[in-house]
Every structure is written in structure tokens, then in C-alpha cells.
Chain A
Amino acid sequence: MGRRKRLAQMQSGAEGMVSLPALLHRNATQFGDAPAYREKEFGIWQCWSWAEAAAEIRKLALGFLEIGVEKGDHIAVIGRNRPAHYWSMVAAQMVGAVPVPLYQDSVAEEMAYVLEHCGAKFVVCGDQEQVDKVIEIQQGLHQVKHILYTDKRGMRKYDHSQMNALDDIMAEGSAGHARFDAELDKRIAAITYDDTCVMLYTSGTTGKPKGVVLSNRNVIESAKNSAEFDHLTRNEDILSYLPMAWVGDFIFSIGQAYWCGFCVNCPESADTMMTDLREIGPTYFFAPPRVFETQLTNVMIRMEDAGKLKKRMFRHFMDHAKKVGGLLLDGKPVGFGDKVKYALGNMLVYGPLKDTLGYGRFRVGYTAGEAIGPEIFDFYRSLGINLKQLYGQTEATVFITVQPDGEVRADTVGVPAPDVELKIDDKGEIHYRSPGVFVEYYNNPDSTASTKDAEGWVATGDAGFIEEGSGHLRIIDRAKDVGKMADGSMFAPKYVENKLKFYPDILEVVLFGNGKDRCVAFINIDLTAVGNWAERNNVAYGSYQELTSHPRVLETIKSHVEEVNKSVAADEMLSGCQVHRFVVLHKELDADDGEMTRTRKVRRGFVEEKFHDIIDALYDGSSSVSTTTEVTYEDGRKGSISATLEIVDAPVVAAASHKVAAE
């Protein structure tokens, strides 16, 4: 891109498009008949073209004017992925308001904090459940002027003086369009490239959530760059099922969708996501590693139950795919015989399997958020599914580094995305600068200043290094989690945790050892995988807790830990991080109990404090520990569970450069 063109763009936006409403207008006029949204309802995929979507969104914007939305107001959106909710966000931008999507599974007190912090006067709720939460919050807050809801069910008895169905304000808005048309057009015309596009709250592994303000420039530039990078066109189909409050969903389902003009498909309900995935067969797909792990586990479990012939065929061709599938995908040379065999395998195994998984039309897809197991990653790639990794943050409007086609590996997160500059400081922390860098944390100048410096460089909080030769970035861990063992060697918990989590039996691991002479670990088993194993091996269990303490389960986990210790010991820098002792926890770590964030990242400090008695026992050499743990039920009530946990000693490998007491 020429420098002059680029400068022009700085003022006027990419190709003259300064906002999402402008892009919507472009799409509706240039290819109004193309599908823009689909949602499965009453068992049938309902479809809206770009022209229809534009008309609906305009009605909604008129409705917002009718109920008195002012410029600069915040409109919170709480609900699952539905066209109406995406429309609410764009309609909010039309009237000069700021959309704030919230996590629909957050409990009332978390929601109260965010609603109060952004001062939302209007809230769009998905259903009665969300309305009830907002009403509960409103009793202490008194700031919400109007509640809107999408699903009318159960809402008839509510006091409707300050509450309406979204449909109704749309109807009212379109009936009164003569009064508001001029005002709406004026407001749309007034939107600039640097106006706020959206505000997203980061879940934050520490402290209170922060409101990240992203401008139209951030969103549109990021969407444009990433779309060009992967050659996305308006013929893509995506499935929108990830939380709307998460920056990724905003960029994929709104930013890129509006920039490219592709179709956003919304599942019928959270439970039907897998079926809907199969029916839509997205061409562009995003999922956290967990989704791919679950799918792979399900495939393996189902193969266990398959007939002998099928099993043999599956194994035979999967072995072949492992050998050449990845190479073929990367465009590397492969022998003719192997190519023919792969084509045969594609007909017999890979093709049908991809169809079953919903990846029949998969052109490009990403996984991010957590490290993905190399075996899982390679499994999908060997089938010919172009799965790649990216590294990003809300503050960067997602993209920091991405893997280009042909340079995909499980252990890196790729090269800097277009227009992104990268630097590593002397402490190993990664910094970046890009057109996607956020404007500020809302009402929080201190945090803004400590994260973003005067020149626009943002600290990621992650430690990593750029690999010589390839130029790929490798992440070691959260910078603040990287510590030192008592003897001065490096402590990088995530490195070990990820290795353990790659075993299907293990769902979550927390490693401790910062400042200590050796490492210990908490382990959560994966109920699906271990439960299936128990069923096949006639191991009886009555509850999750009982399964976690079964001697044979402990034995299996111990063997996993032993293998990981061997592989950790091979790395000179990190050999001190071997797991000496561990417990299998009696409960799953859960966001409702504050042990994880809503995006399912472990809150280390909190876990350390909550289970300090277990950690003490791990270090003082006792062979078991009795503990009582508080749990929160789905309806918000609290209770507690007690258990006696057995502590397991794991064999460690003595590293040559490192003295380890033999256990």
C-alpha cells in the first residue's frame, strides 16, 4: 500500500468507510440480495439479506430514538448470539450510542459492576433470565432508564412502563419514521473514524474488569487487514456461537462480516451448536482449543465403539494422514503414491469425518486463547483442515500475530499481523503497536497509562521470544506468572500445565512452585474422557468426587505426570519445573466460584489462596489432606463439599545440571 494512499486513509477511513453503518449501507446497496444473517428458529434456518438486515437495523435505530437514546449513551447488550442482538449493536452506533456487550452467564454482582461502571441507561436483554438480573441490579443502581428484551416469553406480567420488547420498539420506530428520519440521518452522517465503535469488558485474571474502548478505526482497520491476510470474501459462512462480549466475536461476526459482506449464522440454542455447525458447514471458523479437544475426544470415543473393519480402516488412513496430510496442506512436495493413497483416504475416511464434524467446507480457521496440544492440532491439519493459530488481545482488537498459510506449527503463534510492530523488552515481555491499539480503558486513565505508553506501544503481559530464522513468536507464559525457583532456575507454570493438559484425561492443571525448592500441582480430570474409560473398564463410581479419588484414576494420572516430567527434564532451562507431588482435585475449577475467568483461564492467585490448606499439605509431606470447599450453585446459592484428598508422589528425573532430591 502506497504511503500516500495510507495517509489519505488516516483521515477518511478505509476506502471511505468510516463506520459500521456506512459498511452496512455499502453492502445493502452493492449486494443487497446476498445473505447477511441466518438463524435457526423453529427448526428452520431463517435468512435475512443485507438489504433486509439494513431495513431491520434502521427500524431498530428509529426505535432507539423513540425511547430517547442520546448521543454518547451506553447501551448494554446481554444475550446469546442472535441477529437481533448484533443489530442492536449496529443500531446503537447509528444513533451515536456506544454498544457494550456483556457476558450472559455472569452473575448479578459482576454484571452490576460493569453496568455501573459504563453507566448504561439502556439494556437489551435476551430473555426473562437476563431481565430479572437487570431488575435486581437496578434496585441498587437506579440508572437504567429502559429495558428492552428479545424473547417475549414469560414477560407479560412485568411492569412495562420502562420496558419493551425489541419488536415493539422496532414497529413503533418504523411507524414514527417521518418524525425521526432526519435526526437519524444526521446522527449517522456525524459518525467519525475516531468515534467509539464498541466497548468491551476484559474479564481480567486479576482485579475488576476494565472497559476497553475501541474506535471505528481500530475495528475497521483490523477487519480489513485480517480479511486481506486470509483472502476472506463475501462468500464465507461463519457460525457465531462464542460469547458476544468477547472481542473475537465482535471482530468476526461484525467487523469482518461487515467489511467483507459475508454471512453470520446463529445457532438455535447453545445446546444445538454441534448440529448447527454440521448443517452450516462454515468456511471460516474460530474456536478455542477446548472445542477442538472435545470434538476429538468424541470422535475417539465413538471409534472405540465402532466395528473392527471400520476401526482398522480409520487407524490405517489416520496414520497415513499423519504422515502426509500436513505436508499436503502446506503445499510441500509429497510422492505420487502417497498422494493417491491420501485421495483414497479422503474418500473413505477424511471426507466423511470432516462432514460429520461440520468441517466439510472449512477453508481457514483459527484457534487461540490457550495453547493447543500438538497432537490435536496435527490431527485436524492432517485431515486437510486449514487450522491455524493466532495471538491476540482485546486491547489489540484481536490481532497481534497470525500464522500465514504454509508456515503453520503447533508451538508458535505466527508472525506479526499486517501493520503490527512487535518488540520484546529486556524482561522478556512482549510489546506491540498497531492500528488496532485500543483508545483507552473507560474512566481509568491510570490503567491506560500503565498499559499503553506515549508512543502507542502496549504491554501484553505475556513473556515470549521471537524465534531466530523463522521470525515466529513463541509464548512462554504470562509475564507475571514467570518466576524463579528457590535455586534461581526459571519457573514457567503454563509450560508444564499445557504439557499435562494435552492428555485427554486431564482438563485443567495448576502448578505451584514460585520461590520454592520444587513444584507441586493441582489436577482436574476430564469427566467425559475418564467417565468413558471407567465405563469401558467396569470401574463403578457414584459422583465426580468419587471418580477423582479412584486408585486406578490416580495411577493413570501419575503415569501422565511421570511422562511429562521426563519431557520437562529434557529442557535445560525448565527442568526445575518437574512435578514432585500432586492431588486430583475433588471439584472442577469454575468461573462461578471465582477460580476461573469467564473465558476459562485459571485465576492463579485466587486458587492459591482458596486451597492453601491443600498446598501446605503438598509441601509438608503428608500423604492425604481433608478439606472443605465452598461452591456456588447455578442459581447463586452457596454450599460446601468436604473431601479427603490423597496426595500422590510422582517420580522425577534428575537433570545433569540440576540437583534433585530423589523421592
Chain B
Amino acid sequence: MLDSSEGYVTEDGRKIGGVVMEMKNITLRFGGVVAIKDISFDIREGEIRAIIGPNGAGKSSMLNVISGFYVPQEGEVWFHGSKRPQMRPFEVAQQGIARTFQNIALFEGMSVLDNVMTGRLGFMKTNIIQQALWKGKAEAEETENREAVEKIIDFLEIQHIRKTPVSRLPYGLKKRVELARALAAEPKLLLLDEPMAGMNVEEKEDMSRFILDVNDEFGTTIALIEHDMGVVMDLSDRVVVMDYGRKIGDGTPDEVRNNQEVIDAYLGVSHD
């Protein structure tokens, strides 16, 4: 199934396209510590791709490599068919990659609306003076971007907190606002760093539904890191399993679930 460069069809009938991003033999070191060791995998258009693994397996490092925040010492990152050079974060954003963070990184004093608006920065062409005067072009531009933001607010059902400062929101809602901000950038590839961490069952169900809806409605390719195995297996089309910086499994949730090495990593092996 994975050999085909044409993509594949998922169980629920979604068509997954060609390779969007390919990681080739990535190795990442921090001084003497090897965080990622010779890992290769790909992300295909329209799929939900999960990266899982026990604590310290190198998942977040991997996500940071994808997002261009870390530059691996060895290996290549291919994005849309070309090798990606070393880039600064805003350049990555311009390429159509957006992300959320494990420990929420919102502007706490600003309202939800303003926070989500910051996700539209890449679409704003007017300069600071035009915006301050707020005449003609700047006004039209804000209207246009506000409309896009309102659609996302509606989509994620956060209308009731539109004007609330983020600092007053509970954790689960903050996570949703972060997702909203990432979506406002209209990403082609969305990276989610532990979107369900610290949530209760109900919040997890809500978040899962939103992730599936985003994928379904906007066709966004999603790569996510998650601890909660149940959630991962339900959500994702394909899963990469990491342990101590190595890749120990890659495939559909079912394949991964039956992979002996994965079972050992998660349940431990006896040493007799």
C-alpha cells in the first residue's frame, strides 16, 4: 500500500494523495545526545499522520524538524518535491505550515478574536502606517481577514468567547483557540503538538471531532503528536512509532498495534 506514489484510499473512503513531505534519514544531535537517529518517513496529502512514542522518544524534536525550527545534522527534508533549505520560522509559515504548541503559546492579554487574527498576519500586505490610519486598503484588508477568522470561529464553535481575554479561559478552550489561530493561516500542513494533553474525556472527544472536521472540511494534511493511544488509533490514518530516537514502527493503526517491537516499547520486556 505504501509503495504506491499515487496515494491510497482509507477505510472510510477518503482519498489520500501523493507525498507532501518526506523526511530522509534524519539525524538530530544536541551535543552528545542523539535525539533522532536516522529516521525516514513521509506525509501524504490529506492524511492524518501521527507520531507516537513513550516519553523522551524524540517526538517533539521530530515535529520541530518538520516545522523547520530544528535543523538536523544529517538527512534531508523534502517538501512538495524539492529539498528544503535551512529556513527561519516565518519562512516556514509562508510555505503553508502552521502549528500548535504542547504548552499553549497564545497572547494571554489579548482577546480570542485578536489572537486568531494574528494567524492572518501572512495575508496582510499593508504596512504599519496604513494600518494605523486605517483608510481604504487597510480597512478592506481587515474586513476580508476578519471574515476568514469569523468562519473559523464558527467552525470551532467559540463564538461565545470571541471577546474574552485568553487568560480567563480554561485550558481546553485555550487549546481550541490555538487550533483556531493555526487554521487562520490556512495551512496546507498542520502540525499539532499533543493537542489533547491535560484534557478530560469530553474535551478530548470535542478536540478529536474538530481535528477530523478540519481534515474533512478543508482537506488539510495533519501531522500530530499524541500520548493518548486510544485517540491516536481512532484519529490517524498512519502512525510512526518512535522509541529512544529510533523509528520502531510505521503503518496503519492496526499494523502498528500488532507490531511486536511497539508492544515491547509500550509494555516493556522482561529481561530474563
Contacts and interface: CB of A to CB of B under 8 A. Distances in A.
Interface stretch (B18-26, B84-92, B148-156): B148-156
Nearest to A154: B213
B153 A43 contact: yes
Contacts of A635: 205
B204 interface: no
B153 A153 contact: no
A535 interface: no
Given A157-B12, A157-B13, A43 B159 contact: yes
Contact of B217 (A41, A153, A269): A153
- Chain A contact surface mostly: loop
A275 B160 contact: yes
B157 interface: yes
Contacts, number: 35
B246 interface: no
B159 A272 contact: yes
A468 interface: no
Interface string B165-187: 00000000000000000000000
Contacts of A272: 159-160
Contacts of B147: 42
B108 interface: no
A661 B81 CA distance: 90
Interface string B123-155: 000000000000000000000001100110111
Nearest to B14: A157
B216 A268 contact: no
A302 interface: no
B48 to A, nearest CB: 15
B37 interface: no
Contacts of B205: 635
A271 interface: yes
B99 to A, nearest CB: 24
A43 B153 CA distance: 9
Nearest to A44: B150
A269 B216 contact: no
Contacts of A3: none
B162 interface: yes
A641 to B, nearest CB: 16
A153 B13 contact: no
A275 B202 CA distance: 25
| Centre residue among A43, A157, A275 by max chain B CB count within 10 A | A43
B180 to A, nearest CB: 13
Interface in A127-157: 153-154, 156-157
| Centre residue among B12, B147, B160 by max chain A CB count within 10 A | B160
A271 B163 CA distance: 13
A634 B205 CA distance: 12
A269 B160 contact: yes
B155 A271 contact: no
A153 B155 contact: yes
Interface in A634-656: 634-635
A42 B154 contact: yes
Interface in A161-218: none
Contacts of A42: 147, 150-151, 153-154
Given A153-B217, A154-B213, A271-B159, 15 more contacts: A42-B154, A43-B146, A43-B153, A43-B159, A43-B162, A153-B155, A154-B217, A156-B217, A157-B12, A157-B13, A157-B216, A269-B157, A271-B160, A272-B159, A634-B202
14 contacts: A42-B147, A42-B150, A42-B153, A43-B159, A43-B162, A44-B150, A153-B213, A157-B216, A268-B160, A269-B157, A271-B160, A272-B159, A634-B202, A635-B205
